[in-house]
Amino acid sequence: MDSEPSCSSQARLVCKYGSGCYRKNPQHRREYAHPDKDDKEDEEDGCPPAKKVAVDSSLQQVPPLFYVTKVRGIDEHYNSSSLAISLKDILAMGELVASAQFNYMFDVPWIIDQYPPSKRATPLLLVHGEHADGLTRLKMACKPFPNISLFQAPLKIPYGTHHSKMMLLLLDCGMRVVIHTANLIEKDWDQKTQGAWVSPLFPKEPSGPSTFQKDLLDYLTAYGGTGLDVWKQHIREHNMDAARVHLIASVPGAHTSSSMHQWGHMKLRKVLSQHGPPASRVDKDWTVIGQFSSVGSLGTSSSQWLCSEWLTSLSACREAKLLGARSFPQLQLIFPSVENVRSSLEGYMAGGSIPYDRKVAEKQSYLTGYLCQWKAEHCGRSRASPHIKSYGRVSPDCTQLAWFLVTSANLSKAAWGAMEKQASQLKIRSYEIGVLFLPTDDGLLSVATHLDSFPNPEIAVPVPYDLPLTQYGKKDRPWMWNGTYTEPDSHGRLSHASAEQSPVILLALSSVLEREEWSAKEKQSARRQIWRCDLLHIIVEVLRQEFTLVPGQWGTAAKLATLLSNVCAGLKPKLSEQQNVSGENADQITEYYDILLPTVVDSLLILANNLMELATAYVAKGDPQPHFLTVTDALTWLCSNHQQHCIQRALQSPYLLNVLISDEAAYSGTALRFMAKMLEEYPGVFSLLPSETMQSVLDELIYKISGADDQSALPALDLLGAFVYYRVTPLDNLLLGYKGLSVVISKWNKHRLGLNAAQLVAALEARVASDQEAARMDSAAVLIQASWRGYMSRKKMKRVQRGICRFQQMYRRWKLDKEKAKQGRTQVTSRPVHTAQREFHERQIATLRLLPAREVDAFVKKQEDHSISKIQAWWRGVLARKAFQERKVTALRTRSASVIQKAVRRYLHERRKKRATTYPKLTCAERDQLLQEVQQMREEQPSTQSSEQRLQLHDQVQQLLGDFYANLRSVRHRDEQRYVLLARLMEDSNQALSAPSLCHASDELVELFTSGSRVVASMAEMAHKEELKAMQLPWWKKSSVEGGPNGLEDSIMDFLS
């Protein structure tokens, strides 16, 4: 993607002289644009005007974020701009005016190539630590580039290095700071895992010095001299408040007093103690993790430095006490194992950047118990050798981080510093620099595992390794760069090869076998002698080394491969020939067939792979393809003479599959021809291959057939036809596994095909015709079955409809019968009631007929009084039973309230007693011991305030505490009053809602309902409800209500009186 215009190219004014401007002042060129002249200069630099720098536009404005560097040889998904960055991407962020590179190693021509073409002449400062011969070589490398200036960092203590890795980039619209972990050499930015923090764009504006800005200026000042004064002035002129990280640096020297807490692990301890997460959020279950690429001498026991002062600093938290030996958290250290290096993208070559001396490792064997393997599957960098250095503290569930540090410091005393003279000074030997990520607002950092999007570094950090960590196994050993390893690496190379002249000496054996005066029997005897002298094993080991420095280079390797194949192909010892020899020779013959020959096959395939990679990487002098063909011919000759022992081994080898999947037709075609020849000579061997291997071969063949349009796909098509012809893969399985294969192969019908390919095409055409006829028959069967299912479905639906109609008729009949039965029961039940009422009226009429007329009213009055008494007696019984239940509930509530109140009073009494407890006073000895501990803590962590400031702060705190406790009682009293008032308002609102309307209330009632007394309001409400109930009673109940219409008011007045 082309880069977007920078912030200056859009704002610059066009010079009035245009392309005819003669001024050479760089400041004039930055302030005014010269369109035609600028374009012409860009074209002279080899960059077209419209396409200056190929850099991802999403990186033009980079937020403060931690990146890993891009890695060649992994899936490009893991090199996305949200996760990875390259040196070219960093240097192309804006219009560069000047830059400074702080580093340990420099490849000057390569560095210049990483700059945009138009910026390769801008001022560049290299800050280094070279001296003597190294300084001479560096000056010679910089001589062709007049824009480069050098600054030598003073190394005050022996064995120290300038190991810091930082970039200062001055842009026309601001400034950036980049802190990373890679040397400025090509291999460090190619296939290694590195880390880089890219700052936000710091604007050029006045501001107060931020913590990051002050620390950066202190670090540059520690170099001394005047060589960095210009850059210190640039830093002062820019606003760096946007840097949300802390700078953790190391400078050589014996630091004492306050400067001791300014560098190394003591600076990290200070920052974590002042700004880190509180100890309440981070306990000892949080693991401290260290990840590095080099190990120094740490002492003979872990308590000397690693698990004492260094782990104390990395375990620091805010508001935490000093840790004892038993309070340290768990420590886990990530360092590449031998297997990590061997299987890496670079192989054993990666071990050169992981210095750990064997003699040092023998003195500190305890370190292996803390080591974990390098694994980074989530970001695709498990095979990218780690050169990054990072440290952090992770939660037990591996989802949160207390802090995270990216730095140039490895695990060594020289980098972090070591306490000396009874912990009164910190001695550091090397320059180091790093950035510390801390959470904000007493929070925690999250571990970002999904790396497809930009994580916010104030919330989440993309940790470059997998969590949880994987401990070393029983067979795992840490990588040591001066160790001896005999197992080949991912490129088939050994870590320690033979001398440079060994291949040439061994190659002299070929002249012995090529003597014309020798007979076949004498040559066979020579082959046996070579075998018995164990020269075949030596040749196999020599073939696995690097041939770049060998005379003849890879041509010598190809000749050795031919020699090895010639000897093994002509050597076929049989047990029948050794009837009179001892059993040891029989064991040697068995080893020859079962071990040596498969090893020779692997060695030849590894050599062929190396030659192919040299050709595809364009690093070989000359064309390696003839050597590749020589090696494959030697392999073919060997497998043809030892079919039973070599062919299966060769076909199962992943190196042969690697050649087969090559995009270069010359190399993949050689592998196809080799497999076709082996299939003709030994067809049954393919049936012995694992299904995974056969599936991989078939996938690659189909890919080549479907993806190519030229003659390069014909060998793959011919091999596929041979598979079908020899029944290695049945045609039915082939068509079933690869849909549309017949269509793909049919396009090759017009080409001139081989016998096997022509037979495959004919078989596919016959199968297509057969499949079409079968498809027509299937279509007819489907049509017939659909018609029959439709007929059966319609028939079934008619039966269902008839059943539903019959069911509805039966339900209606049942419902009608039920209604009739209910009416009959009602008539039968109501008949006795009507009969009793009629008999009662008849008796009443008969009695009235017998009485005289003057006694009828008295009789009727007597009967009414009797009825009223009886009804009222029954009703009083009902009310009495109801009131008894209510009184029972009220009594239960009263008892419950009494029990609760007693319990509350008892609890409050006990609480007051506890608060009133007096603590024993300190004895004189205890007081002296406490004063000593306080004095020791003050000495270890000196305060930045003076004694007068502390006394003033103490008085202010005492004054605030006094004011607080003085106002505490009044505040509580006001809170209680507010709660009581709210309760009264709630009660009054409830009373108002239940009150009668004003038209039915007297003056006394209005006064009562507006009263503030809860008791009066409650009694008024109860009396009001009783009056309402009395008004709704029938006439025969009202006679028992005493007091007349004013009974409600009277009862309330009696209560109040």
* H or E stretch at 875: helix 856-915
Distance CA 164, CA 220 (A): 12
Judged on CB neighbours under 10 Å (0-12, 13-18, 19+), 20 is exposed
* H or E stretch at 676: helix 665-681
Does residue 171 sit in helix, strand or coil?
Answer: strand
Q: Which long-range contacts (CB under 8 A, 24 or more apart) does 635-640 make?
A: 635/561, 635/565, 635/601, 635/604, 635/605, 635/608, 635/674, 636/674, 636/677, 637/565, 637/566, 637/569, 638/565, 638/568, 638/569, 638/597, 638/600, 638/601, 638/604, 639/601, 639/678, 640/569, 640/677, 640/681
Judged on CB neighbours under 10 Å (0-12, 13-18, 19+), 31 is middle
> Longest C-alpha distance within the chain, in Å?
175
Closest alpha carbon to 258 in 425, 409, 423, 413:
425
Cα dihedral across residues 619, 623, 629, 634: positive or negative = negative
- 991 to each of 357, 717, 983, 1019, how far by Cα in Å? 91, 98, 12, 11
Distance CA 74, CA 379 (A): 10
Tell me the two tokens of residue 385: 């050798």
Amino acid at the residue 559: K
Q: What does the buried/exposed string (b/e) look like for 150-166 if buried means 16 or more CB atoms within 10 Å of the residue's CB?
A: bbbbebeeeebbbbbbb
Closest alpha carbon to 336 in 388, 385, 281:
385
* Torsions phi, psi for 127 (to 5 deg): -100, 120
- The dihedral over CA atoms of 973, 977, 983, 985, expressed in degrees to the nearest 10, equals -170
Does residue 494 sit in helix, strand or coil?
Answer: coil
DSSP 61-87: S--SEEEEE--TTS-GGGG-TTTEE-H
Tell me the two tokens of residue 725: 């012809």
Q: Which long-range contacts (CB under 8 A, 24 or more apart) does 690-695 make?
A: 690/652, 693/651, 693/652, 693/657, 694/728, 694/729
Which are the catalytic amino acids?
Answer: 163, 387
- H/E/C letters for each residue in 931-993? HHHHHHHHHHCCCCCCHHHHHHHHHHHHHHHHHHHHHHHHHHHHHHHHHHHHHHHHHHHHHHH
- Residues 354, 161 contacting (CB under 8 angstroms): no
Cα dihedral across residues 612, 616, 618, 624: positive or negative = positive
Q: What one-character DSSP code corresponds to residue 272?
A: H
- Residues 314, 265 contacting (CB under 8 angstroms): yes
- Residues 294, 411 contacting (CB under 8 angstroms): yes
- Residues 371, 333 contacting (CB under 8 angstroms): yes
